[in-house]
């Protein structure tokens, strides 16, 4: 049985795999091969889901936003999503750290995931909104000092803004999909 800690480690591993991939519209096959190396049967099921989904990655203000969905309409970027992404990047610089290497912000049907590296502390962060809510950090031999506490507090405060903004985007994407299905 997989516990929450193992799930978080798995999410971080998958995010790292996505970051290592070249920009393509279908990441399914390469991810599937890496995920099959894991021993959990759950990972093979997730690989099947990834294989069926379509992905389109957009470069916005120097960052990458990937939309994931079942059809072409799900992976079209809206102006609200573009603005939310630009605001997220700007707010992170202002509220947390300007010495950051950002990962891809992934928008799925029921979840948004974003990760990056705070360079001066060598700490990886991972935000998840949707099915698995939370902010997580990862690093090797992290020095416990006032700066770490300060950055941890800043990440936690920023996560509240991030969650509010991207939960609204998920909600909007679901409403739009429901309207399309009714027509």
Residue 125: predicted pLDDT = 96
Average pLDDT, the chain: 81
Residue 8: predicted pLDDT = 76
Residue 38: predicted pLDDT = 46
Tokens 């279908």 sit on residue: 26
| Residue 60, C-beta contacts closer than 8 angstroms, at least 6 positions apart | 82, 85, 86
Residues 125, 115 contacting (CB under 8 angstroms): yes
Q: For 128-163, write each residue's pLDDT tens digit.
A: 998 889 999 999 888 889 999 999 999 999 999 999
Residue 9: predicted pLDDT = 72
Regions in the chain scoring below 50 on pLDDT? 23-40, 50
Query: Cα–Cα distance between 106 and 102 in angstroms, integer?
Result: 12
What DSSP element (H or E) covers 131? none
Query: Cα–Cα distance between 137 and 49 in angstroms, integer?
Result: 26
**What string of DSSP letters covers 140-151?**
SS---SHHHHHH
Assign residue 141 a region (left: φ > 0; alpha: ψ between -120 and 50; beta: otherwise): left
Residue 32: predicted pLDDT = 42
Number of domains forming the structure of the chain: 1
The pTM assigned to this predicted structure is: 0.68
**Structural domain of 82:** 4-182
Residue 100: predicted pLDDT = 94
């Amino acid at each position: 049985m997989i516990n929450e800690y193992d799930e978080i480690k798995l999410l971080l591993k998958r995010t790292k795999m996505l970051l290592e991939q070249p920009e393509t519209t279908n990441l399914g096959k390469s991810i599937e091969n890496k995920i099959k190396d894991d021993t959990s049967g759950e990972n093979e099921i997730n690989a099947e889901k990834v294989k069926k989904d379509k992905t389109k990655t957009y470069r916005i203000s120097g960052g990458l936003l990937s939309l994931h969905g079942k059809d072409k309409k799900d992976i079209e970027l809206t102006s609200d999503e573009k603005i939310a992404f630009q605001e997220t990047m700007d707010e992170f610089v202002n509220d947390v750290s300007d010495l950051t290497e950002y990962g891809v912000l992934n928008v799925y049907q029921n979840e948004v995931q974003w990760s990056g590296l705070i360079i001066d502390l060598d700490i990886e962060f991972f935000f998840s909104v949707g099915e698995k809510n939370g902010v997580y950090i990862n690093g090797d031999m992290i020095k416990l000092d006032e700066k770490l506490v300060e950055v941890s507090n800043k990440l936690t405060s920023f996560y509240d803004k991030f969650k509010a903004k991207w939960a609204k985007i998920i909600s909007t994407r679901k409403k739009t999909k429901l309207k399309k299905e009714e027509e």
